[in-house]
Amino acid sequence: MLARRVSAPALARVALALAALAGAARADAALPPSAWRYRSNADLASALDALHAGPCAGVSSVTSIGTSVQGEELRVLEVSTDPGRTQAKPSFAFLGNMHGDEPVGRELILRLAELVCLAGAPGARADGGVGVAPATITVAEPGDERFFETARHLALRARLFFAPTLNPDGFAARARGNARGVDLNRDWPDQYGSVSDDGSATSTTNTRMPADALETRQPETAAALSWSRTVNLTGALSFHEGAVVANYPWDAKRGSRRAEYARCPDDAAFRRLARAYADAHPTMHLSKEFEGGITNGAKWYPLWGGMQDWHYVVTGTLDVTIEVNDEKFPRATELGRLWREHRGGIFAAATTATRGALRGFVRDASTREPIANAALTVEGVEFPFAPNALGFFARPVASGDVERKNDATREKNAEKPFAASLAVTAPGYVAAAQTATVDPVDGADLVFEMVRVEGGARGGAGGGGSPSSPNRETRGGSASVVDAARFGGRDFVDVAPRRRIEPATPVSPGRPHPEAVWGGAAFVILAAAATIRKRRARTARGRGVSRVEGV
Ligand SMILES: [Zn+2]
Is residue 506 situated within a structural domain? Answer: no
The arithmetic mean of pLDDT across residues 29-50, rounded, is 78
Residue 380 within a domain: yes
With contact defined as beta carbons under 8 Å apart, do 385 and 395 qualify?
yes
Q: Residues 69-88: what's their mean pLDDT?
A: 95
Give the span between the Cα atoms of 539 and 232, in whole angstroms: 31
Q: Please check whether residues 319 and 442 belong to one and the same domain.
A: no
How many Å lie between the centroid of ligand 1 and the Cα of residue 96? 9
Looking at residue 29, its pLDDT comes to 36
Residue 53 has pLDDT above 80, yes or no: yes
Instruction: Give long-range contacts, CB 8 A cutoff, 24+ apart: 452-457.
Output: 452/364, 452/365, 452/366, 452/428, 453/428, 453/429, 456/428, 457/428
Q: Which sign does the torsion angle of CA 526, 530, 533, 539 carry?
A: positive
Using CA atoms in the order 511, 63, 154, 319, what is the torsion angle rounded to 10 degrees? -120
95 and 226 housed in the same domain? yes
307 and 369 fall within a common domain: no
CATH code: domain of residue 155: 3.40.630.10
Question: Which phi and psi (to 5°) does residue 444 adopt?
Answer: -155, 150
Three-state SS for 424?
A: strand
CA 275 to chain centroid: 15
387 and 344 both lie in a single domain: no
Q: How far is the CA of 201 from the centre of ligand 1 (A)?
A: 23
The SS3 of residue 333 is: helix
Helices (H) and strands (E) in the chain, counts: 13, 18
- Cα–ligand 1 centroid distance for 258 (angstroms): 20
Residue 236, SS3? strand
**How many angstroms separate the alpha carbon of residue 239 from the centre of ligand 1?**
7
Cα of 192 vs centre of ligand 1, distance in Å, is 21
Structure confidence by residue, pLDDT tens digits, 232-249: 999 999 999 999 999 999
Q: Average the pLDDT over each of 120-124, 271-275, 318-322, 545-549 and give the range with the smallest value.
A: 545-549
Same domain, yes or no: 372 and 256: no
Q: Is residue 184 part of a domain?
A: yes
Q: Same structural domain for residues 95 and 126?
A: yes
Ligand 1 mean position, distance from CA 550 (Å)? 4
- Spatial distance between the Cα atoms of 248 and 317, rounded to a whole number of angstroms: 12
The set of catalytic residues is 323
Number of domains in the chain: 2
φ, ψ dihedrals at 409, nearest 5°: -65, -40
Going by pLDDT thresholds of 50, 70 and 90, the confidence category of residue 122 is low
Q: What is the pLDDT of residues 128-151, one digit of tens each?
A: 444 444 444 555 688 888 898 899
Q: Which residue has the higher pLDDT, 95 or 488?
A: 95
Confidence check: pLDDT of 43 > 90: yes
User: Is the pLDDT confidence value at 550 over 80?
Assistant: no
pLDDT score, position 202: 66
The distance of Cα 351 from the centroid of its chain, to the nearest Å, equals 10
For residues 520 and 503, give the distance between their C-alpha atoms in angstroms, rounded to a whole number. 10
Domain membership of residue 434 as a residue range: 358-486
Measured CA to CA, the distance from residue 245 to residue 543 in angstroms comes to 14
Contact 239, 97 (CB under 8 A): yes
The residues, any chain, with a CB within 8 Å of residue 12's CB and separated by 6 or more, are 30, 46, 49, 50, 53
Considering the domain architecture, whether residues 279 and 382 belong to the same structural domain is answered as no
Question: Per residue in 484-528, pLDDT tens?
Answer: 222 222 222 222 222 222 233 332 333 323 322 222 222 222 222
Same-domain status, 375 and 476? yes
Secondary structure (3-state) at 429: strand
- Centre of ligand 1 to C-alpha 118, Å, is 30
| CA dist., res. 130 & res. 141, Å (int) | 25
How many Cβ atoms are within 10 Å of 549's Cβ, its own excluded? 14
Measured CA to CA, the distance from residue 280 to residue 128 in angstroms comes to: 33
Residue 512 lies in a domain: no
Q: Which of 441, 467, 486 is the last residue of a domain?
A: 486
CATH code, domain carrying 427: 2.60.40.1120
140/266 same-domain check: yes
Ligand 1 center–CA 335 separation, angstroms = 17
Contacts 24+ apart (CB under 8 A), 17-24: 17/53, 19/54, 20/54, 20/131, 20/132, 23/136, 24/132, 24/135, 24/136, 24/137, 24/138
User: In Å, how far are 273, 355, 406, 413, 485 from 418, measured between CA atoms?
Assistant: 17, 15, 18, 10, 21
Which of the listed residues 443, 465, 486 is the one where a domain comes to its end?
486
Q: Is residue 86 part of a domain?
A: no
Same domain, 339 and 369: no
Residue 527 falls inside a structural domain: yes
Distance 99 CA to ligand 1 centre (A): 5
**What's the one-letter identity of residue 180?**
R
Q: How far apart are the first and last CA of the chain?
A: 29
Average pLDDT, the chain: 76
User: Would residue 550 count as lying in a domain?
Assistant: no
Instruction: Name the residue with higher pLDDT: 230 or 35.
Output: 230
Q: How far is the CA of 12 from the centre of ligand 1 (A)?
A: 32
Q: Are 106 and 91 in contact (CB under 8 A)?
A: no
**Do 404 and 462 have their domain in common?**
yes
What is the DSSP code string of 110-155? HHHHHHHHHHHHHHH-TTS-SS--GGGPPPSSTTGGGGHHHHHHHH
Collapsed DSSP state (helix, strand, coil) of residue 87: coil
241 alpha carbon – ligand 1 mean position (Å): 6
pTM check: above 0.85: no
Residues 382, 320 share a domain: no
Quick check: is 14 in a domain?
A: yes
| 339 preceded by a cis bond (ω within 30 of 0) | no
